[in-house]
Structure 1
């Protein structure tokens, strides 16, 4: 099963092995599984397969150099390391395993593996004698102790004529085990309700009040909760994101509609992730016809929308509640006060504006629960997975 590869960004590294002829097939299957693929290769890999082939199959520019003058600050390896949800080296030679096991960063691929916060997986490919060698086995154990996922190798005939272990695993096995890297059992058996996106509050038939929420963080958290084994329900305001699979998805427009949907679903959930940027106010009067520009000024009378998180916090029994606080100033103080006021178990605080938070692809947050933990800026996918693991830990320790 490769369901957890949908929407993932996979960086494929190709090293100098005859098994590199299988790399295009791995790329093709990754893309069919719904992943976006970028490729980095070593100089020796070019002896077995051309850069043009890998670029054509992946649909993205190939990466070869440690320092890229076309990249921001000529540090393309850092940009790639931050981009990836997973790094897969297939094939991985004995030389590459040795250098990575000892923390060397003397080329693009080893540097990427050290710089990334994403999981790293290796599919070894080498002669059976090299695989069995004591030093290779020591390097293997060192990599496994460092939480590097090792896929294979398989047994069988090899290009040199030998027979034994060392063949790179077949592409379908590599994809299945790479997909499993994202699957955890941290929330197994639990039901998680997630709200995401903005709400729209009508002014007239063509205008509405809203905010800049894209829904990216909420959708990423819903996907991460599903990967953690939860049964997920996602209630989403108007966004342009595709609905994720393998979960119950509901679409709403207004704050009242989101409130009603949450209150219907909340009795059957264990954890409530209130990520949506719900409008605090709506127009007291919604004009039936378009308002025309007849005056220099116009006054709208607004009334409060129901407070979803506060309402859930007053329930007895109630689920474990995680909220979000998007603030422009005094972020920690505002978030802590909001957590206490609304009865949340945890709150995730972030500063918005200047390219951060709403609508951005990355986020930097502080998680406030029984303790306070700061998470540096990173793409919202990896951030969501870290947050879900923190939420799971605090839920099970309550």
Structure 2
């Protein structure tokens, strides 16, 4: 069965070349992923999807390359900061740069993003300053930014909960009569959660303009995806009445095309879509994890050969536009971003103990006030009171 099902008569009647035709290269058992950029950098045409990325000039491809290199540098710095005791935790995104950058750069500013805890690249692409990402991972604040300023909610730590948030927001967009869309990012492990399946039920029932973006990085901490999914994850969505596409998550061009396909459906009133971006988590689940205990080194080597940045660089070299000047400028940008990240992290002041009770509710309750006073009395037992 195809991973895409026709969800409206208009789509069924659309000609193959029309904007509303369903893509022809879809995942079926035994077939390859939707890939537009091969690991060796060769650009493969795709008649059903090419029009979604017709604006990707060499200059825009260079910009995507800068994004991917910069967020990899951010990720490297995040791991280093945690190892040095400056961060409490860091969930690496190494290997998933194309999936995150390609999809995030397909969004409009009025779309709303709901992520898990690994989407640092999406936050970067949404324009969230690096210093506002740090407080949560250093443990000095529960969140770092105003969601409505950047069109992106704070990371959801509860696995899969953000899919419900995205669906609810999308339903609101439909009721308001706007053509904005919501997108929910989650991993393969989250597809086993009830929240994700409940979100798909609501999204399909109410034709919510939401994109379910699953980054299948093959590992739910130490559990391989093959243990819980005997078929491609994209095959699940049609059972809910949601069209789906399975793409090469290390191919930034294919990811952008797939995301734009899904966003067009959402904006046209055709409801939700599901994208399975097949990629690989090259690092640990978080910095508290040791993947050497369960990952086959040969498997990691196989995926290293499919590195998303190397792939795009080979393509840019074939186009003759990846010169030393660009490489030097990108390195300078990436290093400066990492330096700003480190400076912002180590300069964060420790919060006052009683601020734990701020912003728990819109208005303080008697129950919360009583807890605060009891904790204040406890702190007063130590020399220096709250400062102790």
Shorter-chain-normalised TM-score: which range?
0.3 to 0.5
Flag the structure with higher strand content: 1
Flag the structure with higher helix content: 2
Structure with larger RCO (C-alpha < 8 A, sep 6+): 2
